Amino acid sequence: MAKGHRSQIKRERNANKDTRPKAKVSYARVSPTKAKIVLDTIKGKDVGSAVGILNYTPRNGARIIEKLLKSAIANAENNSGLDPAKLYVEEAFANKGPTMKRIRPRAQGRAYRIEKKSSHITIILNER
């Protein structure tokens, strides 16, 4: 069991989080629910196998997430000087973005609302 004040424990836990390479895309035109399905398949995997999985995933946000993962790998290589062979996907999550509301005309003067959802997707890598 960890000893010390709660704020001190949190500070120690978050000390490494600032140095981890990451990439984020905001306002991605994919629903957060659909993005989470794809992100769950690559969470905890090596970056090489994660890129391979995304390459053959026929889901809606797979292309966006693949591009984002490659950006995170490039950030790790160029900014942090880390070896891409040792990297793995530590965290991958999608938060809800703004919803665009559109109108679909229907019969007899009615109109249905269409909600086009967007998401903010973040991928954080770390070394093994």
Domains of the chain are: 20-127 (3.90.470.10)
Conformational region of residue 12, where left means phi above 0, alpha means psi within -120 to 50, and beta covers everything else: alpha
Q: What global pTM score does this model have?
A: 0.82
Tokens of 99: 């919803």
Partner residues linked to 89 by β-bridges: 125
* Secondary structure E strands in the chain: 22-28, 87-96, 100-105, 111-116, 119-127
> 56-98, pLDDT tens digit by residue?
999 989 999 999 999 999 999 998 888 999 999 999 999 999 9
Tokens of 84: 């891409």
- The 10 Å Cβ neighbour count of residue 101 is 9
Q: Of 110, 98, 100, 103, which Cα lies nearest the Cα of 27?
A: 98
Partner residues linked to 122 by β-bridges: 24, 93
**What is the CA angle 56-62-68, rounded to 5?**
115
> 97-118, pLDDT tens digit by residue?
999 999 999 999 999 999 999 9
